[in-house]
Amino acid sequence: MRFISLIRFKEKPTKESIEKNIECIKHESKKDDVDILEMYWTLGRFDAVVIMEAPDEKTALQSALRRGDCMSTETLVAIPVEEARRLVKK
């Protein structure tokens, strides 16, 4: 399953804190068998977006909770367009 995490960092971005946050995301995700597919820094309400793949919702939640020391997250389930079309047709 794919998930999208919208991230807000808990401290003001500096070169050091950005590297720390990248490592936090990568390190904590590996513990939970979550693959980070893409990471983007963003302008606006959120500081970053992470697209990840996890076996299920519980695993994605566990991974997001582990990152709570460095950031706050809002994680969404990503449903592929074709699957959404099939669901709507039912």
Q: Say which CATH number the domain at 9 has.
A: 3.30.70.920
Q: Comparing 82 with 30, which gets the higher pLDDT?
A: 82
| pLDDT for the residue 89 | 84
Structural domain for 55, as ranges: 2-89
Q: How far apart, in Å, are the Cα atoms of 58 and each of 37, 38, 46?
A: 18, 20, 23
| Residues 49-78, mean pLDDT to the nearest whole number | 91
- Report the domain count for the chain: 1
Rounded average pLDDT over 57-74: 88
- Percent of the chain topping pLDDT 70: 100
* 73-83: average pLDDT: 94
pLDDT tens for 9-45 read: 888 878 888 888 888 888 878 888 899 999 999 999 9
Burial category of 31 from C-beta neighbours within 10 Å (exposed 0-12, middle 13-18, buried 19 and up): exposed
Residue 8 pLDDT greater than 80, yes or no: yes
